[in-house]
């Protein structure tokens, strides 16, 4: 059963906007929100007065002094005065939390056109502030000192994975085991990011560099090197959700075919560190609503905050059995010319990870693919894709299935 069959109406992505990601010293949180919101509304063919509701995804957690940001989008036009606006927060999945709240407003019939924004300004804060803010998404480490921050938490996941599975399927060219697999994922995403004009990092490091510990690629938290970690970023993205297309839209709309959301238990002892069980459930819910299997997707944008997260995602989405995620790399499935290209945008690894912006950015990149407007990133014959966004270590999980019309 499709979303439309289940709820009796379509939810369409009718316009979108995206800023550059990186250290944006000339931008403020407000200017980024206004920039992408203006672009999204204009490209949808609507006017600001047509927007019925606004959702803003932002984590913040002390990285910005302004902690009450829901009305910042109103700055783009007097016609947005009195429009309901709500900030959503669900750690690194705040953007997709905003997206799904917007979807539910459309499905409920309370809004015909919803503006969804994801935004974060992280580089104004010092490294210690950013590290402490991100650790606020850990049940055990919130408020505690750490030399490795959130990298250390995913390093523990990698250690558990290697202890249980090794590197998965061993093959020629991967003598370094799990470290080589993770290095290949990093190299893939950096290579893909070269084609993304919004990406923070435009460096094609290559596999040897990404697999090797060096002065320029130090170990951050064993076994994760610097190239295994997404950067600290500023940026924003926005999308307009509508019940129907407007005349004058810049592109054809994109249909939401299905969505899923699942949260896991917060204490680490209540979760299998290599299972990402709620992540798997969010995939099952989204694919089930869309009425497709993993083989019905043409691409996926997934939450590779660390390379080990992307590896486990291959298993959580059902691309490979548990413990065999390395097959997707070794057999080329997740590369641009593979059977399921993953993170053609460069992912969080190369595109950047302005926390609240990430989920909305993934939806925008997917919409561009499905409308043939992705430029150098464009895949041939992209008709259906998925977006997966995660908060914490597999805690808050969102998946969307989008398709062209």
Catalytic residues: 92, 353
Task: Report the alpha-carbon distance of residue 248 to residue 251 in Å, rounded.
Answer: 9
Q: What is the dihedral of CA 378, 382, 385, 389, to 10 degrees?
A: 0
Say which residues have a Cβ less than 8 Å from residue 159's Cβ, sequence separation at least 6. 222, 223
For tokens 């010319």, the residue is 337
For tokens 């993953």, the residue is 342
**Pairing between strand 254-263 and 113-121?**
unpaired
For tokens 């939390």, the residue is 97
Q: What is the length of the chain? A: 405
Task: Report the alpha-carbon distance of residue 302 to residue 398 in Å, rounded.
Answer: 10
Task: Report the alpha-carbon distance of residue 378 to residue 372 in Å, rounded.
Answer: 7
Q: Is 334 helix (H, G, I), strand (E, B) or coil?
A: coil
Closest by CA to 99, choosing from 351, 304, 356, is 356
For tokens 């991100």, the residue is 134
Q: Show the CA angle centred on residue 240, arms to residues 238 and 241, nearest 5°.
A: 130
Q: Quick one: which H or E segment has residue 180?
A: helix 178-193
């Amino acid at each position: 059963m499709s979303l439309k069959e289940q709820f009796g109406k379509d939810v369409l992505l009718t316009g979108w906007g995206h800023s550059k990601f990186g250290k944006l010293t000339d931008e403020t949180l407000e200017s980024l929100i206004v920039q992408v919101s203006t672009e999204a509304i204009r490209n949808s063919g609507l006017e600001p007065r047509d927007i019925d509701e606004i959702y803003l995804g932002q984590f913040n957690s002390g990285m910005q002094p302004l902690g009450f940001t829901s009305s910042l989008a109103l700055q783009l036009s007097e016609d947005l005065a009195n429009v309901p606006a709500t900030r959503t927060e669900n750690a690194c999945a705040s953007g997709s939390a905003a997206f799904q709240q917007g979807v539910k407003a459309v499905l409920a019939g309370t809004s015909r056109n919803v503006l969804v924004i994801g935004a974060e300004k992280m580089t104004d804060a010092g490294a210690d502030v950013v590290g402490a803010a991100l650790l606020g998404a850990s049940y055990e480490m919130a408020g505690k000192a750490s030399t490795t921050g959130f990298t250390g938490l995913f390093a523990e996941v990698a250690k558990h994975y290697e202890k249980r599975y090794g590197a998965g399927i061993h093959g020629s060219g991967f003598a370094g085991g799990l470290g080589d697999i993770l290095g290949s994922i990093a190299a893939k995403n950096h290579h893909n990011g070269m084609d993304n004009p919004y990406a923070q990092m435009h460096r094609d490091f290559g596999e040897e560099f990404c697999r090797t510990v060096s002065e320029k690629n130090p170990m951050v938290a064993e076994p994760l090197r610097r190239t295994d970690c997404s950067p600290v970023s500023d940026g924003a993205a926005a999308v307009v959700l509508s019940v129907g297309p407007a005349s004058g839209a810049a592109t054809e709309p994109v249909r939401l075919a299905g969505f899923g959301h699942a949260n896991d238990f917060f204490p680490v002892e209540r979760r299998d560190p290599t299972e990402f069980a709620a992540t798997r459930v969010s995939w099952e819910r989204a694919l089930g609503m869309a009425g497709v299997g993993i083989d019905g997707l043409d691409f996926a944008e997934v939450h590779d905050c660390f390379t080990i997260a992307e590896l486990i995602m291959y298993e959580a989405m059902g691309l490979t059995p548990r413990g065999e995620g390395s097959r997707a790399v070794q057999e080329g499935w997740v590369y641009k010319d593979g059977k399921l290209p993953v993170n053609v945008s460069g992912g969080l690894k190369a595109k950047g990870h302005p926390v609240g912006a990430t989920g909305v950015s993934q939806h925008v990149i997917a919409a561009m693919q499905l409308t043939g407007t992705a430029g150098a990133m464009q895949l041939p014959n992209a008709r259906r894709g998925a977006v997966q966004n995660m908060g914490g270590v597999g805690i808050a999980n969102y998946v969307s299935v989008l398709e062209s019309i």
